[in-house]
Chain A
Amino acid sequence: MKEDTRIGGPSGKFPATRWSAVVAARSDDPRERSRALGAIVEAYWKPIYKYLRIRWNKSNEDAKDVTQEFLTQLIEKEYLSDFDPAKARLRTFLRVCVDHFVANQTKAAKRLKRGGDVLHVALDFDGAEAEFTRAESPLTVAASAASFDEYLEKEFVRNLFTLAVADLRAFCEARGKLRHFQLFERYDLDDSVTSRPSYVELAQEFGIAVTDVTNHLAFARREFRRIALEKLREMTCSEAEFRREARALLGVESA
């Protein structure tokens, strides 16, 4: 008979990062502020770039410039000091800021390619453009604020999961558990085949027992969930907001 589950759990406690990038972005400590803004930029630059492409119909080059300039202004002019989590979600706030920013840009020729000395996050625009052309056609998004919010939300989740997957790979590599990640990649990420492989097929493919497949996948999924939620927590200001966002991220909102 298996041991009953106990409060406290077989794996003990689960310390969670309480750090909020949104709060830290208003810090007086320049290093803390820089780190926070880096986290926000990392989470949002790609959704913003794609949003500019689809909502404002910007060309690839224009969208790059506007994204960089907007993020530079976000940092230099401290846009986030006006953000009130009680009034809107951070995504909605940023979308409105982007919309105002674009609307106020009267002369495209005056745009300066700036940001190199302010942005400390490498922005892979070629990669973002490849994703954009691969995934979306501007015609597929209806022109309404709600649908653009939805689009931004979707891209934010995609980007957050992408970052979490990258961190998971690094985490597994550092602990000599690359096989765990490879199984996770094969089972949960690979959609190149029409149907998912079964655990038995994965066991044969990797030359391990089926129980190992189950355990390795459980480990990878648990760590993925932890990393994704930690990243999400950085983008929220309070525990209540984090819970709301987490439920939305995981698709378990109340009916």
Chain B
Amino acid sequence: MNWLSDEAVARLRSAGAEPEFAGTRYQLIERIGSGGMGSVYLAEDATLGRRVALKILDVPDSAGDLAARLQREAHILASLEHPGIVPVHDAGMLADGRVFYAMKFVEGERLDRFAEHEGTLPARLRIFQRICETVAFAHTRGVLHRDLKPENIMTGPFGEVLVMDWGVAKILRANWISTTAETAREQSRDSSGTLTAVSSRTPLKTAHGAVLGTPGYMAPEQARGDVEHLDERADIYSLGAILQFLIEASEPATQTAPRALTAIARKAMDADPAARYASASELGQDIARHLDGLPVLAYPENVLQKIARWAARYRLAIVLVLTYLVVRALLIFWFRR
């Protein structure tokens, strides 16, 4: 066969792109996404009879850096057991040489798409609080996400909020490794050296000057490639940008957002890292205070604003008292006539 028709070329393309699951427990269903490192496929885990998502490199990585990055992402996810972080079930290499990891298949939609059609501002703020809690948890485990944005947040139909795509995460401390990763490392020793590039004690370093992240959601110090000095406050900047996105997405153009809320976003996105919130928890707590009608750290109020906020918070009680007073006054007036 000397000539390949367009259809044959398309078939070969598909055959070349399709991961080879021979010898594994997975059966391919469909490709559901694509990113910088590889693609995500929906597959059936034949052993356990459930659907899983598989993140797989698009081509075998002979240089090893992408493979190491994907394996590292799997180890980070495995070490971060939290309801807001997708659990990893398996990791390895396919027969075609492509590295992969299997994770829970999350049915839902990305936050940016969710925000297009759903939710009041308070509902979105509650989602944002969950994101802050997840990021705060990762920070306590010494992991910096570095690419927080609405596209990397999944919202599920039963209220799940998951922070995804930890592919460019930075390890802040050497003791981040969980027992899961340790176990994997030990097992790899038993498998006669088949393990490649899984160096869980030597985190993959990002070169100084390398810019990883997304413009618009990246802290200024991150955009400058100041990799060595990045800390939790870079993620707090990104959280501020997500908050800003949620405020703007939920409010009609004619309606202005609450000042306290925009002040929270501004504080989180301050160009000076020292002026931002000290932690993601602190940021989440300020959102909680706003939702409860309490004063927030980011916005010092004058007396009138305090009264207005107090009036808004106790609106029902105030209306009831005023109604009672008006009715009573009318009754007094009526009987004295």
Partner-B contacts on A (CB < 8 A): 1-2, 4-16, 18, 127, 130-131, 134-135, 154, 157-158, 161-162, 165, 185, 188-191, 214-215, 218, 221-222, 224-225, 228-229, 239, 242-243, 246-247, 249-255
**Do the beta carbons of B195 and A161 come within 8 Å of each other?**
no
Contacts of B47 on A, CB cut-off 8 Å?
1-2
> Is B158 located at the chain interface by the 8 A CB criterion?
no
Among B4-50, those with CB < 8 Å from A are 4-9, 11-18, 20, 22-25, 31, 33-36, 39, 46-47
A134 and B8 CA atoms in complex are apart in Å by: 14
Which B residues are in CB contact (< 8 Å) with A18? 62
Q: Distance (Å) between the CB of A75 and the closest chain B CB?
A: 26
Excluding A14-B97, A249-B13, A250-B13, 14 further A-B contacts by CB distance (< 8 Å) are A8-B188, A8-B194, A9-B97, A9-B194, A10-B95, A131-B3, A162-B4, A191-B5, A218-B20, A218-B95, A224-B12, A225-B15, A239-B63, A250-B17
CB distance from B274 to the nearest CB of A (A): 35
Interface contact A221-B33, CB-CB below 8 Å: no
Chain A residues with CB below 8 A from B90, complex form: 4-5
B302 at the interface (CB under 8 A from A): no
B301 at the binding interface (Cβ < 8 Å): no
Is the pair A7, B22 in contact by a Cβ cutoff of 8 Å? no
B48 to chain A, nearest CB (A): 10
Contact A8 B191 (CB under 8 A): yes
Q: Is the interface of A mostly helix, strand, loop or mixed?
A: helix
Show the binding face of B for A, using Cβ within 8 Å. 1-9, 11-18, 20, 22-25, 31, 33-36, 39, 46-47, 58-60, 62-63, 66, 71, 90-97, 99-100, 188, 191, 193-196, 198
Nearest B residue (CB) for A240 = B63
User: Given that A9-B95, A189-B8, A254-B35 are known contacts, is A221 also in contact with B16, CB under 8 Å in the complex?
Assistant: yes
Within the complex, the shortest CB–CB distance from B52 to chain A, in Å, comes to 12
> With the chains together, A247 CA to B37 CA distance in Å?
10
What is the chain A residue whose CB lies nearest that of B25?
A2
Contacts of B24 in A (CB 8 A): 2, 5
- The reply to whether B59 and A250 contact each other, CB–CB distance below 8 Å, is yes
CA of A13 to CA of B193 in the docked complex: distance in angstroms? 11
In the complex, the answer to whether B25 meets A5 with C-beta atoms within 8 Å is yes
- A6 contacts across to B, CB distance below 8 A: 92-93, 191, 194-195
